[in-house]
Structure 1
Amino acid sequence: MSLLKSLLFMALAIPAAAQEKPQEFHYRVEATATASTGTYAPLWLTANRFGMESEKPNSGYLRAGIEWNKKLNRGWRIDAGLDLAGGVKQTSDFWIQQAYADFSWKMLTLSIGSKERMGFPLEKNSELTSGWMAEGPNMRPIPQIRGEIKNYLAIPGTRNWLAFKGHLAYGMFTDGNWQEDFTAANQLFVKKVMYHSKSLMFRLGNKEKLPLEFEFGLYMATQFGGDQYKKLANGESEQTIDMPDGLKAYWHALFPTAGGEDTPEGEQVNVEGNMLGSWNFALNYYFGDWKVRATLDHYFEDHSQMFWEYGRWKDGQLGIELYLPKNKWVSAVLWEGISTKDASGPILYDGFWGSFSDLQMSGGDDYYNHYIYQAWQHYGQGIGNPLLAGPIYNEDGEIRFKSNRMKAQHVGLSGNPTEEWKWRIMASYARHWGSYAHPLDKMRKQFSSMAEVTYMPQWTKGWSLTATLGVDRGNYLGNSTGGMITLRKTGGLGR
């Protein structure tokens, strides 16, 4: 409780100091409370909130942050922030949500630290989408060093008809202690795992000349390094795998290649680490004040389904976004269809890459799971699409996605009737089959929905109040009805 009291004091003290600081400083203070029935809170009260919300039916948090933005000469800019949070029934009682420094020169940025980054290569409507397949805003930020071109940069000589953006990042997962506490006896967990991601996207088209644009590119990520442990019945842990973490491991993450003799046999015949990614495509059409956007987010793991090795792609997320001209009620409509059911099809037997004598199992991909790193997750929440519920929902203390074969439909609508009011509605219907190795006892269904209204009174600048209602029905995560209230204050410090 002393940490929460200190955080509350910080939250109250920041606005009080507003007249004593330079204008480049901005603050944010936020308090949220959630109450619901059922075993878990409704999915959309938890998902895609950068790990700030708990899956537990009743929870809350207090958050206070400050950031500094400074423009310098010759196109330079510095942005830095510190964001602290404390809560009840959360994965941590107190944590640093953000602590970062960004150094930018024109379009190029070097970002260092833990930050809520929305710089995923394929842009989607972040208020309405169900999420991204490979990496999205569903989990607590991963601290990293990241070089990036955030927005499309026109390639010289193409007259703005061809542009690109991309990033390269290395970081470290910080949930090793949480994994050890969460894991049950005889289960596996990992510590000191490293993170790597990279992306390159191109945009073809010039909407000033032709109202049509095509975007395409690749995102790849890897878990590497670290140590695997097994939880013993007496509560102690023993190390089972020690993965290399030298410079060569960083190189193998950048250019996926087979591991050496200091890695398990499975890494020597495939690629070192847990490599995954997505191909990303978008088609944008502009018609006056209207905009229609179609997207394809195709997920893959290892070599399977990265190319057309097993025929046409069957897994991924197909989306359509419609943006209407300014009106009083509806501003955006979204539909998404998601499938991870194929997972490269049934298990096949073939030779290892570059081998003619040994055998390997191809196909039957175990999406988001891995035999060394257990799962593509951070603090129990999936890093990819939240409709595939993460390990935090496992009551048996296993760090694994119980169902990674799923088909789902998702819709979302939003509006901004006045400067003081905005709203959004989301609904999803998913069918789950478990995994190839561990199928569910039967096909299970889950409906998840959310309705949210935000009031931003003009007579008290910077304040907002958000009320959210969530309703879940189904036999996978169960039935739940709940509400969430968020009170937020933002503003600048100084004159």
Structure 2
Amino acid sequence: MKQLQYNLPIALLLAWLSISAFPQQTNSILTYNVETSGNISKGTYAPLWFTANRYGLSSNETNSGYLRSQIEYKKNLQHQWKIQVGVDLAGTVNQTSNFVIQQAYGDISWRSLNLSIGSKERKGFPLEKNERLSSGMLVEGSNARPIPQIRGEITDYIVIPGTHHWIAFKGHIAYGALTDNNWKENFTKPKHEYGKDILYHSKSLMFRIGNKEKLPIEFEFGLLDAALFAGDRMKKNEDGSSILMQDMPDGLNSFFKAFLPIRSENKIENVEGNHVGSWNFAFNYYLQNWKFRIYLEHFFDDHSQMFWQYGRWKDGQLGIDITLPKNHFISKILWEGMSTKDQSGAILYDGFAGSFPEYQISAKDNYYNNGEATSWQHWGMGIGNPLLLGPIYNTDGSLMFKSNRVRSQHIGIEGNPTTEWNYRILLSFVRHWGTYDAPLDQQRKRFSSLYEITYTPSGIKGWSASISLGIDRGNYLGNSTGGIITLRKSGKIL
């Protein structure tokens, strides 16, 4: 399979034909959302939080904007069947493309089971984090443009029969394809490589132990694994043309290997494709109108980290999320500490090269970078945590992450002084070391902040407006200051 084409009209037609086979509807709703946003900044780049965690509908350019229009149709059917179809389009200025199909999907659900086809902004899965306050997931979150896919999922925890509501589980499995072939070819400069026709796979399984109706404590744990695989590895020539460097495996067996990572025949390499994942843990405590949530995302980029052979707790993200009782000052506060600096260490050997017929080197994991798929990115934005800045910031036309060894502290605060007013504050301090193979000349630092106020007038139904101030300071990518104004209108058509 040299190319997996995403055909929006056919996908929506198939979804509609499937829907028509179900029993007569019991109720339906058709809604719309129109949004426009403009960013004006001063500096080399826009402030980080103007770009990050906006599902790729943003830009690191100092001046940018978009006009976005979304329509969504939901229908409840008999016997607990449901359907949902949506299209979300945007025209942009100073972004990676002038026209964006941000979302285009059709979902068919029965009880807690859901089949989703298309491109969709998928929120907080599998380890739920506060999307407005968190710095984001390490594996896949809200930073990059949605990846079109076929996805089977249990989106909410369902109780395992016979456990008296004490044990529940959820999970998903998905296959899809990246859509940024043309952008990567144009962005990449001579002597650098890029992946073409790259496919995508993701799966997760999470368990929850606890029954908060009887005991106000819950424990969650599980695994998320994702991969970019297949396609072609290309290299840019001096004249701007591209040559094929490697025709990567893309048959049916590659889909199986993406699901169950198997070591390559080359003993130095790990597995086919670019596999990343995380072990996820969370502890929830409910105290009257308070909620305390502590979570840990242990990131891995190969088998050694996955099975905790090296650097067991050195890399990952620890978070504390507190929901307060209703008040006029602070409704939620969040702290996250993250490290990706160790990466199994500088170099570790099992055996000695040349003395044994087989040996393993387990170190220098080089997070988010890969020799086959190039890097863990989509349209220049990192698919994982945005504090590891994506290739969109590279001025040399490389698609590699230039600094994947970082340590960070992040704080998020949100409040609702009245029913019409909301604010949030994001504060992030990050230290950068570059990569093991290309370290920075010195440890570099970056402080990024966002101050946002949203007004939703009760007298004008469906309207809201947000004003944001972003300030970045430090010696990594320079200083920047800017503002964003966003207007929204949403409502029901039918």
Q: Shorter-chain-normalised TM-score: which range?
A: over 0.9
Give the counterpart letter for 1:79 in structure 2.
Q
Deviates more, 1:39-48 or 1:357-366: 357-366
Match of 1:329 in 2: 329
Match of 1:233 among 235, 238, 246: 238
Give the counterpart letter for 1:371 in structure 2.
G
Match of 2:473 in 1: 473
1:159 to 2:164 alignment: yes
**Alignment CA distance shift 1:76-1:23 (3 Å):** closer
Give the counterpart letter for 1:30 in structure 2.
E
Give the counterpart letter for 1:459 in structure 2.
G
Matches of 1:206 and 1:356, distance apart in 2? 53
Match of 1:144 among 149, 157, 166: 149
Match of 1:32 in 2: 37
Q: Gaps (5+ residues) in structure 1?
A: 1-21
Match of 1:251 in 2: 256
Matches of 1:490 and 1:266, distance apart in 2? 55
Give the counterpart letter for 1:295 in structure 2.
Y
On the 8 A contact 1:27/1:493 being kept in 2, the answer is yes
Report the alpha carbon displacement of residue 266 of structure 1 after superposing the two structures with TM: 6.4
Match of 2:6 in 1: none
Pairwise mapping of residues 12-411 of structure 1 onto structure 2 (< 5 A)? 24-259=29-264, 265=266, 269-350=269-350, 356-411=356-411
Matches of 2:126 and 2:44, distance apart in 1? 35
Matches of 1:327 and 1:169, distance apart in 2? 41
Moved over 3 A (4+): none
Give the counterpart letter for 2:68 in structure 1.
R
Matches of 1:214 and 1:356, distance apart in 2? 45
Report the alpha carbon displacement of residue 308 of structure 1 after superposing the two structures with TM: 2.1
On the 8 A contact 1:351/1:357 being kept in 2, the answer is no
SS at match of 1:24: strand
On the 8 A contact 2:267/2:360 being kept in 1, the answer is no
Matches of 1:438 and 1:382, distance apart in 2? 19
Residues 207-254 of structure 1, C-alpha deviations (whole Å, 9 max, x = no match): 111011100000000111010110001111001011111110000011
Report the alpha carbon displacement of residue 23 of structure 1 after superposing the two structures with TM: 6.0
Matches of 1:119 and 1:347, distance apart in 2? 35
On the 8 A contact 2:38/2:64 being kept in 1, the answer is yes
On the 8 A contact 2:343/2:367 being kept in 1, the answer is yes
Matches of 1:305 and 1:259, distance apart in 2? 17
Matches of 1:294 and 1:24, distance apart in 2? 37
SS at match of 1:392: helix
Matches of 1:53 and 1:319, distance apart in 2? 26
Report the alpha carbon displacement of residue 119 of structure 1 after superposing the two structures with TM: 4.4
Residues 435-458 of structure 1, C-alpha deviations (whole Å, 9 max, x = no match): 001100110000000000000111
Report the alpha carbon displacement of residue 258 of structure 1 after superposing the two structures with TM: 2.8
Matches of 2:312 and 2:463, distance apart in 1? 50
Residues 308-349 of structure 1, C-alpha deviations (whole Å, 9 max, x = no match): 211532000000011100111210000000000111112122
Residues 468-491 of structure 1, C-alpha deviations (whole Å, 9 max, x = no match): 100000111210000000001000
Report the alpha carbon displacement of residue 95 of structure 1 after superposing the two structures with TM: 1.4
Matches of 1:119 and 1:493, distance apart in 2? 28
- Alignment coverage as a number of residue pairs: 467
SS at match of 2:256: helix
Report the alpha carbon displacement of residue 359 of structure 1 after superposing the two structures with TM: 3.8
SS at match of 2:43: coil
Report the alpha carbon displacement of residue 356 of structure 1 after superposing the two structures with TM: 4.8
Q: TM-score w.r.t. structure 2 length?
A: 0.92
Give the counterpart letter for 2:156 in structure 1.
N
Report the alpha carbon displacement of residue 418 of structure 1 after superposing the two structures with TM: 1.7
Give the counterpart letter for 1:199 in structure 2.
S
Give the counterpart letter for 2:405 in structure 1.
R
Match of 1:489 in 2: 489
1:446 to 2:437 alignment: no
On the 8 A contact 1:408/1:429 being kept in 2, the answer is yes
Give the counterpart letter for 2:340 in structure 1.
T
Give the counterpart letter for 1:131 in structure 2.
G
Report the alpha carbon displacement of residue 350 of structure 1 after superposing the two structures with TM: 2.5
SS at match of 1:210: coil
Matches of 1:365 and 1:200, distance apart in 2? 24
SS at match of 1:134: coil
Matches of 2:97 and 2:404, distance apart in 1? 26
On the 8 A contact 1:252/1:259 being kept in 2, the answer is no
Report the alpha carbon displacement of residue 302 of structure 1 after superposing the two structures with TM: 1.5
SS at match of 2:254: helix
On the 8 A contact 1:69/1:79 being kept in 2, the answer is yes
Matches of 2:262 and 2:310, distance apart in 1? 21
SS at match of 1:472: strand
Give the counterpart letter for 1:373 in structure 2.
A
SS at match of 1:253: helix
SS at match of 2:183: helix
On the 8 A contact 1:23/1:492 being kept in 2, the answer is no
SS at match of 2:45: coil
Matches of 2:478 and 2:285, distance apart in 1? 40
Residues 118-176 of structure 1, C-alpha deviations (whole Å, 9 max, x = no match): 14110011110011111110000000000000000000000110000000000001111
On the 8 A contact 2:302/2:365 being kept in 1, the answer is no
How large is the Cα RMSD of the aligned pairs?
1.5
Matches of 1:101 and 1:311, distance apart in 2? 42
Give the counterpart letter for 1:432 in structure 2.
H
Residues 393-433 of structure 1, C-alpha deviations (whole Å, 9 max, x = no match): 00010001000000010001001122211110010000000
Matches of 1:327 and 1:455, distance apart in 2? 18
Give the counterpart letter for 2:331 in structure 1.
S
On the 8 A contact 1:252/1:258 being kept in 2, the answer is no
SS at match of 1:282: strand
On the 8 A contact 2:28/2:74 being kept in 1, the answer is no
Report the alpha carbon displacement of residue 106 of structure 1 after superposing the two structures with TM: 0.4
Matches of 2:263 and 2:148, distance apart in 1? 26
Matches of 1:73 and 1:247, distance apart in 2? 37
